[in-house]
């Protein structure tokens, strides 16, 4: 019995150890990428329609060759604090595995040392209405985050842009369009009947 308990405790400890060792804390990452995105501060983009061009380059004050271990850049759309308030499911967590700030992956692109990288993205229809910024994580050869860069400041309050969700705008337009066409078909049918009756008289 005691042996069994000991065994279970050992397994638990091992799991804890594995869990802890794989955790990457955002606060531990150096900000070595300079990231820019095309929207101007406060610009309103429409989901499913508007493009964003993201560019990144390593900060030149980083020692030459220090980016040799940089393999990929994972670019995401991230919620600004104003769109996270009272929404636990968008909460920021220092543990990147639990972090809900950057829920919307734009893409992961191979990193070219010393060169400026860029990516053209169209805001997907699934992006909800909100205020956003762009963050890029640097991944090493094991796809672990080792550095980052973002379009906003440390407090995530500058250089933000807005997205108007697809369902908010287009769905109501679509419904309005459907109603209008149903109405016009109905009125055509009505006119046709009236004309027919007139002809009969
Ligand atoms: C580059 O890094 C240096 C040193 O960390 C920092 O002072 C500087 O602001 C960074 N440059 C940009 C454009 O972020």
CATH number, domain at 148? Answer: 2.60.40.2550
| Tokens linked to 96 | 């990147």
Q: Whose CA is nearest to atom 3 of ligand 1?
A: 61
Domain with 197, as residue range(s), is: 171-201
Task: Tell me, rounded to whole angstroms, the distance of Cα 83 from its chain centroid.
Answer: 13
Q: Same domain, yes or no, for 42 and 135?
A: yes
Q: Same domain, yes or no, for 108 and 175?
A: no
Q: Same domain, yes or no, for 60 and 107?
A: yes
Q: Same domain, yes or no, for 104 and 150?
A: yes
Res 188 pLDDT > 90: no
Q: Same domain, yes or no, for 163 and 199?
A: no
Range with the lowest mean pLDDT among 16-25, 124-133, 175-184? Answer: 16-25
Q: Same domain, yes or no, for 179 and 162?
A: no
More confident residue, 115 or 9: 115
Residue 177 resides in a domain: yes
With cut-offs at 50, 70 and 90, classify the pLDDT of residue 198.
confident
Residue 118 resides in a domain: yes
Q: Whose CA is nearest to atom 14 of ligand 1?
A: 34
Q: Same domain, yes or no, for 139 and 74?
A: yes
Contact of 155 with 37, CB cutoff 8 Å: no
Residues 6 or more apart from 149 whose CB is under 8 A from it?
31, 32, 33, 34, 35, 56, 59, 135, 136, 138
Q: Same domain, yes or no, for 44 and 117?
A: yes
Q: For residue 198, is it left (φ>0), alpha (ψ between -120 and 50) or beta?
A: alpha
Q: Same domain, yes or no, for 51 and 135?
A: yes
Q: Same domain, yes or no, for 70 and 111?
A: yes
Q: Whose CA is nearest to atom 10 of ligand 1?
A: 59
Q: Same domain, yes or no, for 107 and 189?
A: no
Q: How far apart are CA 119 and CA 75, in angstroms?
A: 9
Residue 13 resides in a domain: no
**In total, how many domains does the chain have?**
2
What pLDDT is recorded for position 2? 63
Residue 43 resides in a domain: yes
Q: How far apart are CA 139 and CA 142, in angstroms?
A: 7
Residues 6 or more apart from 186 whose CB is under 8 A from it?
none
Q: Same domain, yes or no, for 104 and 136?
A: yes
Calculate mean pLDDT across residues 30-43.
Answer: 97
61 Cβ closer than 6 Å to some ligand 1 atom: yes
What pLDDT is recorded for position 25? 97
Which atom, in ligand 1's list, is nearest to the CA of 62? 2
What pLDDT is recorded for position 141? 96
34 Cβ closer than 6 Å to some ligand 1 atom: yes
| Tokens linked to 183 | 């109405």
CA of 3 to the centre of ligand 1 (A): 56
What pLDDT is recorded for position 126? 94
């Amino acid at each position: 019995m005691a042996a069994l308990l000991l065994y279970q405790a050992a397994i638990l400890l091992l799991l804890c150890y594995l869990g802890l060792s794989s955790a990457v804390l955002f606060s531990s990452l150096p900000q070595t990428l300079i990231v820019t995105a095309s929207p101007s501060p406060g610009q309103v983009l429409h989901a499913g329609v508007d493009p964003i061009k993201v560019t990144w380059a390593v900060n030149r004050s980083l020692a030459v060759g220090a980016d040799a271990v940089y393999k990929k850049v994972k670019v995401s759309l991230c919620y600004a604090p104003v769109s996270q308030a009272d929404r636990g499911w968008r909460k920021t967590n220092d543990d990147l595995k639990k972090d809900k700030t950057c829920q919307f992956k734009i893409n992961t692109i191979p990193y070219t040392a010393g060169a400026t990288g860029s990516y053209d993205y169209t805001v997907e229809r699934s992006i909800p209405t909100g205020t956003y910024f762009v963050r890029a994580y640097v991944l090493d050869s094991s796809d672990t985050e080792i550095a980052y860069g973002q379009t906003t400041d440390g407090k995530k309050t500058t250089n933000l842009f807005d997205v108007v969700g697809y369902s908010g705008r287009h769905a109501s337009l679509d419904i309005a369009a459907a109603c209008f066409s149903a109405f016009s078909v109905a009125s055509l049918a009505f006119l046709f009947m009236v004309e027919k009756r007139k002809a009969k008289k």
